[in-house]
Amino acid sequence: MTEEAFDVIVVGSCMTDLVSQAPRLPKAGETIHGHKFFIGFGGKGANQCIQAARLGAKTAMVCKVGKDFFGDNYIQNFKDNGVHTDFVGQTSNSATGAASIIVNDAGENAIVIVAGANMLLGSEELHKALPAIRHTKVLVCQLEISPQTSLQALRMAQENKVKTIFNPAPAIPDLGPEFYGVSDVFCCNESEAELLTGSSVGNVDEAHKAGQELLKRGCRSVIITLGPQGCVVLKVEEPSPKYVPTTAVTAVDTTGAGDSFIGALAFYMAHYPTMPLEEMALRANRVAGVSVQAVGTQTSYPFRKDLPAELF
Ligand SMILES: Nc1ncnc2c1ncn2[C@@H]1O[C@H](COP(=O)(O)OP(=O)(O)OP(=O)(O)O)[C@@H](O)[C@H]1O
Ligand SMILES: [K+]
């Protein structure tokens, strides 16, 4: 490749969130009036990529959207955030991924996700992106696209000594054992850790135990995020788990906090390769802690200029 290498490449999902706020959730067959509607940019892959970009990482997204209004709009959203879009494919065989979300006045929601074009991302697109994947500093994957595609991307990265972050979300109980060996950092939340290990993860102690179990399966390190409690970090080379607390904040909307954390982690891994993982996790906690103080997903993600200098 002649051009400069990327810091972070995300191989993952794009979703358009169609959000309606209504006094209550409609029953089957019923039509009700809501009081607010908005469209948001979401999808775990894109969220993580955009958070990394806002912190200053040179990023590229490998994903698939539809040849439709939402797909065009999403590509513009990437450009607006400085994300490289040469590996964003557009297909006429499926619609851009969409999440139709209804939120009631009590804050409860009902969601229908149609993954659409996300499921058509496969080998062909990965091969097109391979020259860039070979030279990136960090590659990030989740499970909102075909798991086979995620696995193939992680393998490509590993074969080229590129650092990998794997976020097994949304969790699948029968996650293939081969995902662990291709993860430099295996980063999940409490409920994903619970589903994967089969034991409850409700506090730091239980997170340490679950982390040890995940580590045994072959990843180089594990991070389990614990909402307002921060996270735990475990590394193959240091047997004792580390608890990384976070500063208390007044949370107004925690939607997308996990993705903000992972995007920030990817940025730190790319920019400060020798920084201890606990320190990166501490700083990612701080970034995600800012995201919970604003509504929405990407709309709540901070830019480098909004954050204290000590985080850089
Ligand atoms: N109430 C909070 N106060 C401060 N930080 C928070 C809070 N909630 C989340 N965070 C930060 O965000 C990180 C990720 O949160 P969490 O573990 O809830 O992920 P998640 O369940 O994947 O989030 P979500 O599904 O809401 O996107 C935490 O490790 C922490 O750093
Ligand atoms: K938020």
The residue ranges of every structural domain in the chain are: 8-14+42-95+117-166+246-311
pLDDT at residue number 2: 46
CA angle 170, 39, 52 (to 5 degrees): 55
| Residue 111 neighbours by CB distance under 10 Å | 11
- Tell me which residues of the chain have a pLDDT lower than 50: 1-2
Nearest CA, atom 10, ligand 1: 227
**E strands present in the chain:** 8-11, 15-21, 36-42, 59-66, 88-91, 98-103, 109-114, 138-141, 163-166, 185-189, 221-225, 231-235, 238-244
pLDDT at residue number 3: 64
Please name the residues in contact with 305: beta carbons below 8 A apart, sequence gap of 6 or more. Answer: none
pLDDT at residue number 107: 82
What architecture is the 8-14+42-95+117-166+246-311 domain classified under in CATH?
A: 3-Layer(aba) Sandwich (3.40)
Select from 246, 252, 268, 295 the residue to mutate for testing ligand 1; criterion: most ligand atoms less than 8 Å from CB.
246
Q: Are 285 and 265 within 8 A, CB to CB?
A: no
pLDDT at residue number 302: 98
Cβ of 293 closer than 6 Å to ligand 1, yes or no, is no
| Residue 288 neighbours by CB distance under 10 Å | 30
Nearest CA, atom 3, ligand 1: 228
What is the per-residue pLDDT across 166-214, written as a single tens digit (0 to 9) for each?
999 999 989 999 999 999 999 999 999 999 999 999 999 999 999 999 9
Q: Which atom number of ligand 1 is nearest to the Cα of residue 297?
A: 27
pLDDT at residue number 39: 94
